[in-house]
Amino acid sequence: MSSNTGERRRGQFRWWVVVWLWIGCLGPVLAQDGGYGSFVIENAIDRLLRSSHLKGADIGVVVKSLDDGQMLYERNPLNPLITASNTKLVTTAASLGVLGEGFQFETRFGLRGNPGENGVFLGDLIVEGEGDPGLGARFHHGDPVGAFRALAAALRERDIRTIRGSLVLDTTAFDDEYVAPGWPQNQLDREYCAPVSALPLTENCVDVLIGPGSAIGARATARLAPATSLLGFENTCETFSKLKRGQGPKLFRYQETIRVSGEVRLGDGESRFVLSVPDPDAYFADVLLRTLAEEGIRIEGSTRRAGSGGANLDDRERVYTHRTPLEQVVLVINKESQNFFAECLFKRLARQRYPEQPATFALAGSVVREYLDQLGVPSEHVESADGSGLSRDNRYAPAHLVRLLEAAYRGPYRQIFVSSLPISGVDGTLDDRMGGAAYRGRVRAKTGYIRQVSALSGFIRTRSDRTLVFSILFNGFKSGNAHMKKIQDDICRTLIDGM
């Protein structure tokens, strides 16, 4: 063996000793601090983001450790993107911060006038609203008019059976712009586009129940729950002995007319559909009057709206107050991705900050930006168009959402906020995602999707019990959302396994 060969082998031996020492001694230290682990994680996430399904898409990803504050991954962290229902994270966190976790929505019912004789009240029944989304079946054991029945009971306790005056609706808390700019105009009859009003009822939607007729060839039956005279039917749906594949009732609402077509099968039960109402104030008044009449209470006068100054009920005049706690509202918004609740909460923020003027979508957006400013998120880099994320005009960067989530996690309302998020493989909009034993329950996050927009942001508990905060935003992709969700889930799995 030549001296040169021996020297090369000794050099190689020394080089391997150095590598061994680095891996054996320094490697674990770097991995513990995130250096070596972060390098592996970065490469794994980069590989996932090179998917052909993301070709041409705008991507924003941020991952941060909440244990030590270390930034673990960034891709376009400050690029403002459309956030879809991840916007609800902003709405709910800002609401807890601005309104306080003990806040409750209120709908106040009162009497103004004088008691008469024989169960007659000489005056008006007044209703003051502030966008309480809980007037409906959800919190009343399935009874859509449960709150109105409670009002009737309160009136009977005062021995009132007839009100000689008017039904006065005070809707001055909100403006009359029921629909946010940027909402899809061809979908306004859908449940997720329900109008936003100061006096909402049954989430400003109505159940449409379609059933078979009495015989083959007969017209299908159609009814509303709760019943209202404000909507009529144009029904061409027929009853058949069996249905062709893909057939069934088809519904849409054009102004005050619900058009029903398609087919139903003889012997089937009723099918339930949900459509928004076109005039929420008129709907509220109509169903209230109907319910009171069913409960034996009659209002003889007309229905009118309070003037611009509002009705200003005082405590002595109140008969019944319906309340919905903010904690319940936040839970529904984030677990179910419920748009209407989010929009009511969004406008209620504006009312809280600017009590002397009707709440608008624009004012609510300014309150959100003020809140984000307090968290260190520059408001000039944010567009806050609505509370639900239905509008394509919302813009937040992944770093903005991570900062918001971090503040919520470290804030006094952490328990309410984190508990409201869907849990992987368990509930909400993540009940069918990351459900394997290794990942179930380790991700609490908000989903989001509108056309060519997919989002997932929230918290991760890793195998080593580290807590991470993350935001993954995809815009402008050409593949279906199923591919986007798989990439998001694979990133979460990578973080759970690797950190």
Give the rounded distance of the alpha carbon of 352 from its chain centre.
20
- Rounded distance between C-alpha atoms, residue 42 and residue 292, angstroms: 63
Query: Cα–Cα–Cα angle for 164, 168, 169, nearest 5°?
Result: 155
Which letter does DSSP use for residue 270 in this model? P
Q: Which two tokens stand for residue 431?
A: 């009940």
- pLDDT tens digit at each of 499 positions of the chain: 454 445 445 544 454 444 343 334 333 333 344 444 577 889 999 999 999 999 999 999 999 999 999 999 999 999 999 999 999 999 999 999 999 999 999 999 999 999 999 999 999 999 999 999 999 999 999 999 999 999 999 999 999 999 999 999 999 999 999 999 999 999 999 999 999 999 999 999 999 999 999 999 999 999 999 999 999 999 999 999 988 777 899 999 999 999 999 999 999 999 999 999 999 999 999 999 999 999 999 999 999 999 988 999 998 999 999 999 999 999 999 999 999 999 999 999 999 999 999 999 999 999 999 999 999 998 888 999 999 999 999 999 999 999 999 999 999 999 999 999 999 999 999 999 999 999 999 999 999 999 999 999 999 999 999 999 999 999 999 999 999 999 999 999 999 998 7
For residues 471 and 488, give the distance between their C-alpha atoms in angstroms, rounded to a whole number.
10
Neighbours of 22 (CB within 10 A): 12
Print the SS3 string covering 156-186: HHCCCCEECCCEEEECCCECCCCCCCCCCHH
Contacts for 392-396: CB closer than 8 Å, 24+ residues apart: 392/82, 392/182, 392/450, 392/453, 393/181, 393/182, 394/82, 394/83, 394/87, 395/80, 395/81, 395/82, 395/83, 396/80, 396/81, 396/83, 396/86, 396/87, 396/90
User: Which of 276, 356, 384, 304 shows the shortest CA–CA distance to 127?
Assistant: 304
Main-chain dihedrals φ then ψ at residue 298, nearest 5 degrees? -120, 135
Residue 188: the pLDDT is: 97
What pLDDT was estimated at residue 247? 84
Reference 405, options 92, 150, 127; nearest CA is: 92
pLDDT of residue 30: 36
Q: Is the Cβ–Cβ distance between 387 and 343 less than 8 Å?
A: yes
> CA-CA distance, 318 to 109, in Å (whole number)?
6
Contact 368, 345 (CB under 8 A): no
Question: In Å, how far are 111, 168, 172, 206, 475 from 312, measured between CA atoms?
Answer: 11, 12, 10, 30, 47
412: closest CA among 104, 93, 65? 93
Nearest to 258 by CA among 200, 207, 212: 207
Residues facing residue 62 across a β-bridge: 74, 471
Q: Which residues contact 339 (CB under 8 A, 6 or more apart)?
A: 85, 192, 193, 194, 388, 389, 390
Secondary structure of 82-127 in HEC code, one letter for each residue: CCHHHHHHHHHHHHHHHHCCCCEEEEEEEEEEEECCCCEEEEEEEE
Give Cα 499 distance to the centre of its chain.
Answer: 31
Tokens in use for 225? 């729950």
pLDDT of residue 38: 72
Question: For the whole model, what pTM was predicted?
Answer: 0.91
Inter-axis angle of helices 87-99 and 339-353, to 10 degrees? 40
Euclidean distance between the first and the last CA atom of the chain, given in angstroms as a whole number? 48
Contact yes or no for 92/295 (Cβ under 8 A): no
Q: Looking at residue 16, what is its pLDDT?
A: 45
> Which residue's structure tokens are 């919302």?
394
- Measured distance CA(64)–CA(406) in Å, rounded: 9
Say if strands 238-240 and 257-265 run parallel, antiparallel, or are unpaired: parallel
d(CA 363, CA 370): 11
CB 110 within 8 A of CB 126: yes
Specify whether the CB–CB gap between 395 and 382 falls below 8 A.
yes
DSSP-assigned states of every residue in 130-164: S--TT-SGGGTTT-TTHHHHHHHHHHHHTT--EE-
Amino acid at 378: P
Neighbour-count burial of 5, counting CB atoms closer than 10 A to its CB (0-12 exposed, 13-18 middle, 19+ buried): exposed
Give dist(CA 141, CA 146) in Å, integer. 8
In the prediction, which pLDDT does 37 show?
59
Tokens of 406: 């971090």
Residue position matching structure tokens 């989903």: 447
DSSP tag of 433: S
Phi, psi of 453 (to 5 degrees): -135, 125
